[in-house]
Amino acid sequence: MENIHPIFDRLLTQKDKEQFLNQKAKVLWFTGLSGSGKSTIAENLEKQLFSKGYFVQVLDGDNTRTGINKNLGFSLEDRLENIRRVAEISKLFINSGIICINSFVSPTIEIRNLAKEIIGPENFIEVFINTPLEVCEARDVKGLYKKARAGEIKGFTGIDSPFEAPENPEVEILTADQTVEDSVNDVYTKIINHISLS
Ligand code: ADP
């Protein structure tokens, strides 16, 4: 053991990996109602950033609730555990220098604070995809609002489960009167300085 230099005992740091990838690792935490546009903006933003040389990972219900979180439902307790695990995974990505775009309803201030604490406030950018309930309901992309109104889904955020709007989000996107392209560009412009090294 004594012939190993102490530096080899340590893992490479977030900073080492950020320099390798030429970017600052951040979690862009998208919060908003179902149908507000989180996934649509996340998917397009990922492509836009990737095409500019940034290394990005989207985390959402599709790639977490089907795997690591498949034993969880939508009670407040399970939502909290869902977000806790997602936040812990994001922290590992951050340690690898990767920019995460996390697309989760994450309906309460408590839930988002938990994520922010786990990830570290310095790595966390709250992005409020602010779309009025009426607009989300009119879009009804997955037909979920119709089912919630009919009582076929219980505890649906915005209908019979609360959504607490962020009080002081770093970024707020008002999608109701914007095209998808405008919203993506809007987020891009507001976050680009946070993820660039120079
Ligand atoms: P969420 O992930 O928040 O549940 P989705 O992205 O699945 O929402 O659905 C949002 C829907 O709204 C999509 O059908 C999208 O095309 C539409 N939409 C209309 N305008 C916008 C916009 N400016 N930004 C994002 N989505 C928009």
Q: Establish if 1 belongs to a structural domain.
A: no
CB 169: neighbour CB atoms within 10 A? 17
Mean pLDDT of 94-103: 97
In CATH, what number is assigned to the domain containing residue 93?
Answer: 3.40.50.300
DSSP secondary structure string, 44-93? HHHHHHHHTT--EEEEEHHHHTTTTTTT--SSHHHHHHHHHHHHHHHHHH
103-125 pLDDT tens trace:
999 999 999 999 999 999 999 99
Which residues does ligand 1 sit against, CB inside 6 Å?
32, 34-41, 103, 139, 141, 175, 178-180, 183
| 114 φ/ψ angles, rounded to the nearest 5 degrees | -60, -50
153-179 pLDDT tens trace:
999 999 999 999 999 999 999 999 999
Q: Which residues contact 191 (CB under 8 A, 6 or more apart)?
A: 26, 28, 125, 127, 171
At 17, the pLDDT band (50, 70, 90 cuts) reads very high
- How many structural domains compose the chain? 1
Ligand 1 centroid to residue 45 C-alpha, Å: 13
Q: Establish if 169 belongs to a structural domain.
A: yes
Mean pLDDT of 70-90: 93
- Could you tell which of 33, 39, 40 is best to mutate to test the pocket of ligand 1, judged by most ligand atoms within 8 Å of the CB? 40
Active-site residue, selected from the candidate residues 106, 161, 183, 198: 106
Q: Establish if 137 belongs to a structural domain.
A: yes
Q: Establish if 132 belongs to a structural domain.
A: yes
Q: Establish if 139 belongs to a structural domain.
A: yes
Give the range of the structural domain holding residue 149, as residue numbers without chain letter. 7-195
Ligand 1 centroid to residue 94 C-alpha, Å: 26
Ligand 1 centroid to residue 27 C-alpha, Å: 20
